[in-house]
């Protein structure tokens, strides 16, 4: 198969899978087999592109031309491949987890759940491989729409309210700010292609470009930069696998990924450095990191604490982008991967606790480590990675982020990262401590059977894979690092 | 021979076919006959548009009387686009009409309905093809009078008052247009639009011509429901039979916009209309008011048909906003949205017709939990709604893109922001329906509701398909709109 066809298949396969999933809606086992098969195939397809891209080849193809000069086109570059690899690998793991979760939690409408999940992943692939900003925007919106039914899966009033926030924030920012930025860029330059070195230099003054940059940063609502961050806690009404893969990996990372692409290929780092507004936007990102971490400290709902932590961590990557050094870009790209593995582990654990004990609040988790040692061990690994303690992947990315900040001589950013690391420890370590060292509260009303045992095997399997992955990435960060360095090489 | 007479046949065939429906006593025969005619009209429209696309502007002398003494039919690219819109919508709603009309109208009225439908089609096509100012007025009245009847055929008794309100407003509009044309005739001694435009510069600086301009502008603005002259529209759309709402929403107001374009650009000329009379600024203000106010009002409607009617007022604002820029880009955007909005609104009204057929109501509270019972209909509504909001891969996105970039080119960035904000308002009112249909607990009678019949679903989905197709490949339609705008503006500059 030629690489171009592979690229097309990567996007088309998950988008077409719902047809088969819906056709098999009467037979749950074959239906879930389709999801597993498609996700497995997708991962293999994405992996098969690796050799070409590392060899310097950029597979590209044009699909359609909705407007003169604006094409739906795909092109694979290192960052996109890194994102696609990450999302497709974690989709396989999440699919295994989903089966365990959805069945033991007796969720309804499972056919539509798996269908929309596949569409969401197809959109993510479209974002990762988009050859220009226009294509990226199309799949960005498709991702919002396809995840809406997943967020509102429960179908009750809380889901409807959460869905409103989700759609309102994401479509609101993208339709008003991002689209405006797109049309503006288009009317200034006559192109929306991704080009090394950017397309805006020499077309606008740095002052105007600052406004445009602000439109992009706030318009990409999926990056959850304050004040457009509230959709992420609202999205926590979704089933846990959705929160895990989509709201810790695919959707939010699509946001920061878009931001990185815009910074590198639309503005270009050289031009970005001339824009005075970057310093102010850096402060906004820094404020998001700290404020979100402080809010996370006060959350008692485990999923909400994880969501606020995600907001904080996403702005690490925004901050990296605004450092405007190649090392910062490397750090940001690595953090996409490292944070994804750690955060998905944490969400998986939250779901496992929910399924096994029906508990959602952190204050109820005293002594849970004795009942669910496997799950809580994985939780600890995830928490350590979030803080950036070896031997976890989080250490690697934090290392490069700090290198980037020092390289850019932004001591302010260095300070923010150090303070936020302390805050990370402050909101994650008490959970670990309570789980292992506090005595379990005995409740005489609950029968022995309900207070015993781990989560289902399928879920534990997924948790183990991501927790191990978090540690493996510390010892062997070669692949993401190589892709990130190649990206940085393209910039220089 | 046949091809050469196509401009005349385009109008004459539906005109002479209309009375036949009244003679056919059997409703099925009347329906079959008018369906046949409407598809013939579409075929002719496509052939005609193709000839204009290849050969440039067509001029046809009725009865071989030489212009400017005889009536001239004149079709340029802008006209070709309009014929395509009217022909396509006219043909697509006919297969749909059978079940819907059977359900909503008494059998004895069916023949009358199809007669008036064909007459309305005649009038709308005539408005587009004619190059004669008085002839245009005649066709405008043919379409208006027949649409008063069509609206009054609605199943509720309030349809009568709605039709009467429209009749009063429409007649005032028509009278204004007639006064304007009369004054023009007085000053120039001719009714041929091109001829008027050539003679006008000599007398342009007179009070009579300025008054004529004002009368025509206000008259046409009533017909196209420009805010604040839109008050007839919400009732008319709400109480008309479903098919009529879909057809009129997609074509009648659009023909009004076309008349406005003709008078501004062809007859009075861009210099007089926009530089001397400053109509651009006035229209821009009214368009912005329409977009904001009507979108906000739409959010608070509980009758979904009325909600879409207010949305139409807002969308007409978009079209007028593009035209008010008086640049090629602006007029292109306006004409694109004219075409796209016809596709969007027709699809939405048709899906509402499906709901009305099964539910007997289009009130929001009656639609609770409807998505389980009518998944295809609701899916069509959501798809049409997303196109209305203007999300990528839909027709609505294309016109929004052009409109925003035309505004940015001219430096009107606050208006560009406003357009984008108002598309969010559209999202809010569409989403109220989505939440009602998908999230609310269904009422007790809901389990008896079935999916709409295929004869109604297929035309609805064809229009949705057209929306998606334009969203993915808009090159043909943008090309036509661009040529149309260039024809209008080029003519005006000449």
Q: pLDDT tens across B298-308, in order? A: 999 999 999 99
Between A357 and B425, residue with greater pLDDT: B425
- pLDDT > 70 in chain B, percent: 99
Shortest alpha-carbon distance between residue B21 and chain A (Å): 42
Give the per-residue pLDDT at A492.
Answer: 63
Token pair of A273 as six digits: 């450095």
Nearest beta carbon to residue A66 from set B416, B420, B471 = B471
With CB atoms and an 8 Å threshold, state whether A172 touches B424.
yes
Q: pLDDT tens across B48-75, in order? A: 988 888 888 888 888 878 877 888 888 8
With CB atoms and an 8 Å threshold, state whether A155 touches B439.
yes
Give the per-residue pLDDT at A82.
Answer: 92
Q: pLDDT tens across B230-265, in order? A: 999 999 999 999 999 999 999 999 999 999 999 998
Q: pLDDT tens across B259-274, in order? A: 999 999 888 888 888 8
Give the per-residue pLDDT at B26.
Answer: 85
Burial B306-326 (b: 16+ CB within 10 A, else e): bbbbbbbbbbbbbbbbbbbbb
Give the per-residue pLDDT at A445.
Answer: 55
With CB atoms and an 8 Å threshold, state whether B473 touches A64.
yes
Give the per-residue pLDDT at B257.
Answer: 93
DSSP label of B451? P
CB pairs < 8 Å spanning A and B = 71
Give the per-residue pLDDT at B185.
Answer: 93
Give the per-residue pLDDT at B493.
Answer: 44
Give the per-residue pLDDT at A340.
Answer: 92
Shortest alpha-carbon distance between residue A237 and chain B (Å): 15
Position B155 confidence tier, pLDDT thresholds 50, 70, 90: confident
Nearest beta carbon to residue B472 from set A66, A137, A187 = A66
Q: pLDDT tens across A322-377, in order? A: 988 888 899 999 999 999 999 999 999 998 888 888 888 888 888 888 888 888 99
Shortest alpha-carbon distance between residue B121 and chain A (Å): 31
Shortest alpha-carbon distance between residue B349 and chain A (Å): 23
Q: Is A449 a residue whose pLDDT tops 90?
A: no
On whether any CB of chain B is under 8 Å from the CB of A12, the answer is no
Domain range annotation of chain B? 279-494
On whether any CB of chain B is under 8 Å from the CB of A155, the answer is yes
Measured between beta carbons, the chain A residues lying within 8 angstroms of B383 are none
Give the per-residue pLDDT at B494.
Answer: 42
Mean pLDDT (chain B) is: 90
User: pTM for the complete prediction?
Assistant: 0.91
Partners of B60 in the β-ladder: B73
HEC states along chain A?
CCHHHHHHHHHHHHHHHHHHHHHCCCCHHHHHHHHHHHHHHHHHHHHHCHHHHHCCCCCEEEEEEEECCEEEEEECCHHHHHHHHHHHHHHHHHHHHHHHHHHHCCCCCHHHHHHHHHHHHHHHHHHHHECEHHHHHHHHHHHHHHHHHHHCCCCCHHHHHHHHHHHHHHHHHHHHHHHHHHHHHHHHHCCCECCCCCCCCCCCCHHHHHHHHHHHHHHCHHHCCCCCCCHHHHHHHCCHHHHHHHHHHHHHHHHHHHHHHHHHHHHCHHHHHHCCHHHHHHHHHHHHHHHHHHHHHCCCEHHHHHHHHHHHHHHHHHHHHHHCCHHHHHHHHHHHHHHHHHHHHHHHHHHHHHHHHCCCEHHHCCCHHHHCHHHHHHHHHHHHHHHCCCCCHHHHHHHHHHHHHHHCCCHHHHHHHHHHHHHHHHHHHHHHHHHHHCCCCCCCCCCHHHHCCCCCHHHHHHHHHHHHHHHHHHHCCHHHHHHHHHHHHHHC
Over residues B386-412, the mean pLDDT reads: 91
Give the per-residue pLDDT at B310.
Answer: 94
Over residues B456-478, the mean pLDDT reads: 90
Shortest alpha-carbon distance between residue B292 and chain A (Å): 15
Q: pLDDT tens across A187-241, in order? A: 888 888 888 888 888 888 888 889 999 999 999 999 898 889 999 999 888 888 8
Q: pLDDT tens across A65-80, in order? A: 888 888 889 999 889 9
Q: Minimal Cα distance from B475: which residue of A? A: A67
Nearest beta carbon to residue B392 from set A138, A183, A186 = A138
The answer to whether ipTM exceeds 0.90 is no
With CB atoms and an 8 Å threshold, state whether B390 touches A160.
no
Q: Is A450 a residue whose pLDDT tops 60?
A: no
Nearest beta carbon to residue B474 from set A67, A142, A171 = A67
Q: Minimal Cα distance from A158: which residue of B? A: B439
C-alpha closest to that of B256 among B286, B221, B230, B213: B221
Shortest alpha-carbon distance between residue A442 and chain B (Å): 39
Over residues A143-161, the mean pLDDT reads: 88
On whether any CB of chain B is under 8 Å from the CB of A145, the answer is yes
Give the per-residue pLDDT at A442.
Answer: 64
On whether any CB of chain B is under 8 Å from the CB of A172, the answer is yes
Domain range annotation of chain A? 277-492
Give the per-residue pLDDT at A66.
Answer: 83
Give the per-residue pLDDT at A390.
Answer: 85
Give the per-residue pLDDT at B290.
Answer: 94
Best to test chain A binding among B401, B406, B417, B482 (most A CBs inside 10 Å): B401
With CB atoms and an 8 Å threshold, state whether B408 touches A184.
yes
């Amino acid at each position: 198969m030629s690489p171009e066809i592979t690229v097309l298949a990567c996007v088309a396969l998950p988008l077409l899978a719902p047809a088969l999933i819906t056709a098999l809606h009467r037979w749950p086992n074959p239906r879930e087999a389709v999801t597993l098969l498609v996700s497995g195939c997708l991962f293999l397809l994405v992996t098969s592109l690796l050799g070409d891209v590392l060899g310097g080849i950029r597979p590209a193809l044009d699909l359609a031309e909705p407007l003169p000069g604006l094409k739906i086109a795909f092109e694979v570059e290192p960052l996109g491949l890194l994102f696609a690899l990450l999302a497709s690998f974690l989709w396989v793991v999440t699919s295994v987890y989903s089966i365990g979760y959805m069945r033991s939690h007796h969720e309804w409408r499972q056919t539509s759940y798996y269908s929309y999940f596949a569409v969401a992943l197809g959109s993510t692939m479209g974002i990762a491989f988009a050859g220009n900003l226009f294509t990226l925007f199309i799949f960005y919106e498709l991702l919002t729409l396809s995840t809406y039914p997943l967020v509102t899966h429960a179908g009750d009033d809380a889901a409807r309210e959460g869905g409103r926030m989700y759609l309102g924030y994401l479509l609101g920012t993208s339709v008003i700010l991002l689209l405006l930025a797109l049309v503006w860029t288009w009317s200034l330059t006559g192109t929306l292609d991704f080009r090394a070195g950017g397309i805006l230099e020499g077309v606008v003054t740095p002052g105007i470009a600052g406004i445009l940059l602000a439109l992009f940063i706030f318009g990409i609502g999926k990056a959850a930069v304050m004040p457009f961050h509230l959709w992420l806690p609202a999205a926590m009404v979704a089933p846990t696998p959705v929160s895990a893969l989509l709201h810790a990996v695919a959707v939010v990372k699509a946001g920061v990924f878009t931001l990185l692409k815009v910074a590198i290929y639309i503005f270009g780092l050289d031009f970005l450095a001339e824009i005075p507004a970057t310093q102010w936007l850096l402060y906004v990102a820094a404020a998001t990191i700290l404020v979100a971490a402080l809010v996370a400290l006060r959350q008692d709902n485990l999923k909400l604490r994880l969501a606020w932590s995600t907001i904080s961590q996403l702005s690490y990557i925004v901050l990296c982008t605004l450092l405007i050094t190649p090392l910062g870009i490397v750090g940001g790209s690595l953090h996409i991967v490292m944070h994804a593995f750690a955060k998905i582990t944490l969400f998986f654990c939250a779901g496992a606790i929910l399924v096994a004990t029906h508990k959602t609040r952190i204050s109820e988790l005293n002594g849970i480590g004795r009942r669910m040692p496997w799950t809580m061990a994985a939780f600890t690994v995830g928490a350590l990675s979030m803080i950036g303690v070896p031997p976890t992947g989080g250490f690697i990315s934090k290392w490069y982020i700090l290198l980037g900040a020092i390289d850019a001589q932004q001591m302010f950013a260095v300070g923010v990262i150090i303070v936020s690391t302390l805050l990370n420890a402050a909101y994650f370590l008490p959970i670990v401590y309570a789980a292992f060292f506090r005595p379990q509260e005995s409740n005489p009303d609950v029968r022995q059977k309900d207070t015993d045992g781990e989560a289902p095997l399928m879920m534990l399997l997924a948790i183990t894979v991501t927790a191990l992955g978090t540690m493996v990435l510390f010892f062997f960060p070669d692949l993401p690092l190589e892709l990130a360095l190649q990206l940085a090489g393209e910039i220089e | 021979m046949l091809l050469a007479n196509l401009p005349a046949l385009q109008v004459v065939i539906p005109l002479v076919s209309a009375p036949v429906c009244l003679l056919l006593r059997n409703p099925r025969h009347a329906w079959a006959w008018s369906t046949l005619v409407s598809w013939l009209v579409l075929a002719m429209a496509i052939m005609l548009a193709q000839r204009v696309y290849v050969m440039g502007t067509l001029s046809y002398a009725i009865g071989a009387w030489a212009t400017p003494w005889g009536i001239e039919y004149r079709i340029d690219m802008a006209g070709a686009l309009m014929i395509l819109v009217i022909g396509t919508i006219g043909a697509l709603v006919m297969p749909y009409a059978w079940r819907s009309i059977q359900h909503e109208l008494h059998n004895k009225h069916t023949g009358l309905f199809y007669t008036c439908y064909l007459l309305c089609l005649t009038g709308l096509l005539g408005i587009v093809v004619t190059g004669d100012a008085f002839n245009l007025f005649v066709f405008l009245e043919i379409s208006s009078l027949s649409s008063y009847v069509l609206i009054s055929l609605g199943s509720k008794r309030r349809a009568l008052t709605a039709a009467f309100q429209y009749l009063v407003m429409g007649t005032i509009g028509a009278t204004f247009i007639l006064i304007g044309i009369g004054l023009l005739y007085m000053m120039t001694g001719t009714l041929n639009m091109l001829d008027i435009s050539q003679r006008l510069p000599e007398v342009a600086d007179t009070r009579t011509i300025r008054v004529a301009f004002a009368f025509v502008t206000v008259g046409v603005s009533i017909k196209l429901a420009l805010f604040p002259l839109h008050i007839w529209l919400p009732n008319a759309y709400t109480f008309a039979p479903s098919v009529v709402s879909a057809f009129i929403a997609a074509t009648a107001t659009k023909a009004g916009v076309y008349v406005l374009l003709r008078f501004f650009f062809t007859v009075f000329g861009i210099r007089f209309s926009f530089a001397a009379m400053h109509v651009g600024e006035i229209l821009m203000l009214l368009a912005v008011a329409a977009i904001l106010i009507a979108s906000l009002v739409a959010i608070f409607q509980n009758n979904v048909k009325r909600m879409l009617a207010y949305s139409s007022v807002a969308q007409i604002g978009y079209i007028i906003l593009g035209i008010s820029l008086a640049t090629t880009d602006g007029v292109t955007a306006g004409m694109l949205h004219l075409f796209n909005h016809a596709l969007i609104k027709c699809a939405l009204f048709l899906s509402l017709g499906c709901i009305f057929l099964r539910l007997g109501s289009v009130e929001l509270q009656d639609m609770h939990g409807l998505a389980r019972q009518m998944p295809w209909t609701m899916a069509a509504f959501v798809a049409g709604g997303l196109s209305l909001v203007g999300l990528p891969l839909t027709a609505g996105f294309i016109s929004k893109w052009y409109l925003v970039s035309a505004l940015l080119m001219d430096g009107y960035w606050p208006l560009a922001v406003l357009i984008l904000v108002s598309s969010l308002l559209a999202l809010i009112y569409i989403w109220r329906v989505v939440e009602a249909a998908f999230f609310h607990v269904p009422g007790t009678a809901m389990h008896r509701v079935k999916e709409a019949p295929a004869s109604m679903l297929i035309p609805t989905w064809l229009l949705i398909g057209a929306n998606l197709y334009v969203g993915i490949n808009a090159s043909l339609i943008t090309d036509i709109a661009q040529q149309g705008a260039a024809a209008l503006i080029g003519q005006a500059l000449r």
